[in-house]
Structure 1
Amino acid sequence: MIMIIERSSEWEEGFINRLENPEKWDSWTLYKMSYEIVKTNLITEFSGLQSAKYLPNLTPLTHQLEAAKTVIERMNGKAILADEVGLGKTIEAGLVLKEYLIRGLVKKALILAPASLVNQWVEELNQKFHIPAIPYKKNYPIDRYDIIVMSMDTAKKSPHRELIYAQNFDIFIIDEAHKLKNHKTQIYEFVQSLKKKFCLLLTATPIQNDVFELFYLISLLKPGHLGNYETFQSAFSASKHDLEHDDYLRALVNQVMVRNRREDTGIEWTNRRVQTIPIQFTKEEREVYDLLVELKNVSSVFSGSFALITLQKEMCSSKEATCLTLTKMREDCVAPDEVEYVDRIIEKLMALEINSKAEKVLEIIAQANDKVIIFTEYRATQIYLQWYLHVKGITSVLFNGKFNKNKRDYMKRLFKEQAQVLIATEAGGEGINLQFCHHVINYDLPWNPMKLEQRIGRVHRLGQEHDVHIYNLAIENTIENNILELLNTKIGVFEKVVGDLDDILTNYKKTI
């Protein structure tokens, strides 16, 4: 059906009559009605939130309303929203944005998020907050839209970066802001250069590896709040994993950061049941591991600590991941004895028939008798585990960063409706909500404890109705012992500055 819209000309007759005859130009009744409407919509005081009145599709939780109120009233719209995973930082940011839009303090907004979360942001802003956000596409006339959601990777590159600089955005909202932790990266320099009237940084993990990450994050919001780098380092005797005067530093941090913990929300949460499970290599696996450690004395190609550490970590994961890396490194070996030594390791790797860690996974899945998420750091291990579980009669689906949004959504649905196990790489640790599952196996341990928190937060979040069981697997007398030690050290730094962290490595001292 074609609808024809014509411009009305009826107003002309009334306009001419008023010009030629002493007709009334206005209506006192209509004026009073307009006056009352404007008076009703006036916000007569700045304290308190008005936005909740305009959200028929959303009932914010108390801690979310308080967070938004704190950002607006105490932090002047520049804040780190650092609630624990699953408490609704997106909702808090939406409340702040809606409030500023209602009050007329914000007209143009740019939301930066990982590419996988762009559509999720657009949907939430439109459906829950009635904010007309659009996802940015290349060649969009950026000046014609007021509320834009864009991926970080797109925003930092030309010509999009220059287009953003040319606009007068009133507020920037940056999701997964821990991706800005390295001040030498292109995305950090891009955000640093933005003219930020209001700015929200969203991250459950403002410290991931060391205390200087928080320094640089806060410096994006309020340059000089913690002094310059040298002053900060001196005042708090700060090193990567230690500092002094942490009470004073925490007080300064709390001036720009809102952090709600699960136990502070008044909501009844299910428990975390965390186990760190020691695993023994078989004799054959141990032999290969020891040969890998000796590589540093055999070839200069492997003398770098990073290369050797990578191989040791991969050996604790799967022979498939190890063999891929070792084969690539073999190409750089020159001396015949070096090549011979590497070939010997590859031969022994391929002869291995048992993966001790995979056998433990099978045991855990059998005991759980329920849906399970497995996190690994290597795609080769991911594929191996799917094959191994298939042979044992267990259905599984993969989830990794190479999948586009449609495939990610499809895998999530398959996991919910059909498969027993989801095998995810680190990409599965962000942006998906899986409350229908309550068993998490950390097959490979990351160096960063906040990655563990992100993984667990996929299931231990609002809507979870069961206790969540977490299994951290670690092979004894390997590099995974060192990883556990460092994870605990980093957790200590986080808790000194940011606050207590929920259990992610309980029972470590008892089991390893």
Structure 2
Amino acid sequence: MLPASLHATFEPDPHHPSHGRMLLWGGDDPATDAATLGLPPGDPATAHILQGDELVETDVLALPARPAAAGMIHLADRIDIAPSLAAWGRVASAVRDRHFDILDKIAEELPIEGHSAADPEGHVWTARAAVAAFVESHAELGQPDSGLSLALTTAQHALPETPRVQATLRPYQANGIAWLQTATDNGAGVVLADDMGLGKTLQSIGLLAARSTGEQTHLVVCPTSVVGNWQRELARFAPQLTTHLHHGPKRRKRADELLDADVIITSYSLALRDRKLLGRVCWDTVILDEAQTVKNHRSQTSKAVRGLTSRQHIALTGTPVENRLAELWAIMEFVNPGLLGTQADFKRRFTDPIEIGRDPNAARELRELIGPVVLRRLKEDVAADLPKKLESVVVCTMTAEQGKLYKEAVADAFDSGLGDGIARRGNILKLLTRLKQICNHPVQAGPAKDNSHDFDYDHEPEDNLGLADRSGKLDRIAAMLAEVIDSGDRALIFTQYRTMGELLATHIREQLNINAPFLHGGVDQMGRDRMVQHFQTEEGPGVLLVSLKAGGTGLNLTAASHVFHYDRWWNPAVEDQATDRAHRIGQTRTVHVHKLVTAGTLEERIDELLMRKRALADAIVGESEEWLTELDDTQLRKLIELDEDEVAQ
């Protein structure tokens, strides 16, 4: 007869130590009881468990050693749970702290329920053997020549089971999904560190789609500026998964309310603010996008995400973590706590020898240690898989400040009336300009007047305007540019507004320490030539800002492999001409084109319209935005009105 309370035992696998598993058994419902205790979700299984004097095939919940250890540490001192659970909590705590000398004493205290699993021949493991096997299984990930490390390394070149995403996967993306699946099956946290533009989001969605059976709930934590982008990518590539955005004043307040979706998407700021709520959910997989956000392990945000309970932790970052050792330790402490030792150990063993002593042996040892759990492909590694031009729409989340300005602008325009005839067309164009400027940045929008295009601009933006954290677009492009620069690439940024170009130059200088020249209509021909020539040299700047009108044609800027359209002209032909400054004869690399739009606004809706009617786009939009002036009030309001659910809080 099953005991009334939940117990824990470890079932070793003598042939494949990494396949050893922690078994939770007893009670009425092991899965529910485990979740109540804050343990990670496991897989339903059966095992032969000693109950009384006989072996009984028993329903259990099975977990690999590492996620089990991470969840059980906090049970070490509990007196209101079964002694076997508390004892295994003490084992996990001792292993985390590397106090291996006390494990024999803990094994002596392990009751029979804690080592009651039988081997294939029907022999029940002794307490010492079970504890020793647990330690060996937990340590597999830290040994480059272990079976688990070899399996992970091999999986980097394997193909997944039938992909469940609606996308044509490139070979390296299929390899990435297979690797993520292997890691998850074995309880290993991993870092997917591919170059920007290679599809880290798609590969992660491939994993979530493969793992989702309707019983699991996954969590994605990302910068506020991309929560909407994650929702759209999930709907595009895995429409069978239900998603929920956890943000805004009406967000859910109870943990059980979060379990009715396959994937919950939230921001880092809310992961901190709602840390108690999110911490009460036993997630299957937690994904950190732009994981360099938690590079400071002492920050409250970093502590909040490390406190999340899940079976699997995955970090996504385009920053080359191998070259930023302090950040590497912080990210690895999230995905695989304890793998790199304490921060002091890591500093002594790797940071100082590599960064100060330039010790090649220490660098090689670190590469071997993290190699199985960090996958980084550069564009040149997978060049044969890539077309010459990769285009993507980057959907950015509007800040609350932007949302307030946007709603006011729409309300003021319709309350005042748009008029008739020529006056109406002028008022609509003025409204569209203001809405686009608000989407760009509140500082560019300024008071309710038209700062407009570069030829109307007659003042310099002030320094120290407090630009950060006020525009989803600006925050997003700054993060993406950091990845571009870190990877040694260069970028063009097109904007149709001179005001915004100057603000971008200021922000890039302050945030990235890069002096980005701005080629606009006010630069004379000699100055233009100097900018172009300097950008094309190896010593040129990492970023060149270009006015869409001034630099849309006639320039050769093939030093750039990334093109950003910060705001949209809404004429695909005009944008393509600008892109072709980099994507032209002489370009030897794939050009990544990023078109930024703000979620829930006219930008997103017009982009969707043009995507649906790309073949007819030129006929629809003509040379400018004049086509929008022909819409009646109902059509126009439907196009421009703000979807408040898309605004960050």
TM-score (norm 1): 0.46
- Bigger relative contact order (CA 8 A; separation at least 6): 1
TM-score (norm 2): 0.37
